[in-house]
Amino acid sequence: MREVAVIGIGQTPVGEHWERSLRHLAHDAVKAALQDAGVERPDALYVGNMLSGELTGQEHLGALIADFVGLRGIEAVKIEAACGSGAAAFRIGYMAVAGGLHDVVVVVGVEKMTDSPSEVITSALAMAADQEYEAGQGISFVALNALLMRRYMHEFDIPHDAFSGFAINAHRNAAGNPNAMFQRPVTLEAYRQAPMIADPISLLDSSPICDGAAAVVLAPTDSEIARQARQRHGIARVIASAVATDSVAIHDRRDPLFLEAVALSSYKAYEQAQVQPSDIHLFELHDAFSITAVLSLEAAGFARRGKGTLLAMDGEISIEGRIPVSTMGGLKARGHPVGATGIYQIVEVVQQLTGRAGPNQVQHAGIGMAQNVGGSGATVITHILEAAD
């Protein structure tokens, strides 16, 4: 296997893009990443996306986007794994370059959600769950996570306030990210007063509906194109790439409060990278809901079971803390354009590792982890990257 590096990154701001369509958003991110990498024509394009068929009636995004960004003729396909689609596409790109099938690959994650009415989006997101035995009962994706949060609060005797640190941290960090959807901090008071979506998940426990696209360019670390990108702005080596799955339905889990696929994919990644959780300098985790952040921190080995909320209360997850999370705002405040999220996370890890994170720079960031979750813990994709300096 060849060692692979991310040699270029690009992203659109996350938000409500009334004036831009899905293909335009993808175009902007791909063009920016190719320019950053100093690449004109990659060998292949992989697209991470979850909802284009359901929300815009458009599938076949591989060819569509390849053509629209001026790459007519190249290999291009869409990859889907619910909210984990972005990282799933990244992994395909990684495998193609590592395996020697391609020398330069661009991966884009894109999602256009805000054109649709909210009940249509709610139904579409529920496709990440078991259609016959979860969504068919009228349960939303938010409510599935609310079931986990309620049980967690019950089993470990945790009050709702204990989760506030995740929203406060994410919003504080988003204020320093020009591409984030919510560039304003929130207070504990605001957290307490936020309206309920699916009890006990409130608006401030939940990531927003939004649009966005992010892209990266991959190449072998020892290639000439990577060497040049390294001199210009630095690159990040991919030192682990691991995927694990669990049952799609929460009711089929052995223990709903332990995200087994998070543990499996994290520990596989630690082994590949030859690191421990304590070696990770920042963790872009999947904070679609504050309960997901807590369960991820526990299953990935950063906190003991039932103790995940303590990390947020003790300041350990802030930029200066022991394990900074959501350093550019996370899903909560940068925004969660579902199929694009996994690529935003990797772009942000690369920003940190190459010293391009601006006011949110984690000092001496050498190793970063990005973890993208599809469904309520059913597909978990973990990547660990290291600064190549």
Partner 1 sequence: MHIAREWRVRRQRYRLVGEVCDQCGRTLFPPRDTCPHCTEPAQTVQTLSGRGEVFSFSTMYDAPEGFEEYVPYTVALIELEEGPMVTAQLTDVRPEEVRIGMPVEMVTRKLRDEGPEGQILYGYKFRPRVRES
Instruction: List the catalytic residues.
Output: 83, 336
* Residues 359, 329: Cα–Cα separation, whole Å: 12
Rounded least distance, CB 126 to partner 1, Å: 5
Rounded least distance, CB 77 to partner 1, Å: 27
Q: Which is nearer to partner 1, 36 or 298 (CB)?
A: 298
Q: Which is nearer to partner 1, 209 or 350 (CB)?
A: 209
Coil, helix or strand at residue 72: coil
Q: Which residues contact 99 (CB under 8 A, 6 or more apart)?
A: 1, 2
Rounded least distance, CB 149 to partner 1, Å: 8
Identify the burial level of 311 via C-beta atoms within 10 angstroms of its C-beta, where 0-12 means exposed, 13-18 middle and 19 or more buried. Answer: buried
- Contact call for residues 217 and 365 (beta carbons, < 8 A): no
H helices present in the chain, as ranges:
22-37, 61-68, 85-98, 118-125, 141-156, 164-174, 188-193, 224-233, 260-273, 290-299, 308-313, 341-353
- From the CB of residue 233, how many other CB atoms can be counted at a distance below 10 Å? 16
Task: Give the binding site for partner 1 (CB under 8 A).
Answer: 118-120, 122-123, 126, 130, 132-140, 142-144, 146-148, 150-151, 154, 195-201, 247, 249-252, 256
Q: Which is nearer to partner 1, 152 or 270 (CB)?
A: 152
Rounded least distance, CB 56 to partner 1, Å: 16
The torsion of the CA quartet 327, 329, 330, 335, rounded to 10 degrees, works out to -160
Q: Which is nearer to partner 1, 46 or 141 (CB)?
A: 141
Residue type, 102: H
Rounded least distance, CB 159 to partner 1, Å: 15
Enter the tokens of residue 207.
């990531």
- From the CB of residue 178, how many other CB atoms can be counted at a distance below 10 Å? 9
- Contact call for residues 200 and 87 (beta carbons, < 8 A): no
Enter the tokens of residue 368.
């970063």
Q: Which is nearer to partner 1, 157 or 320 (CB)?
A: 157
Rounded least distance, CB 99 to partner 1, Å: 30
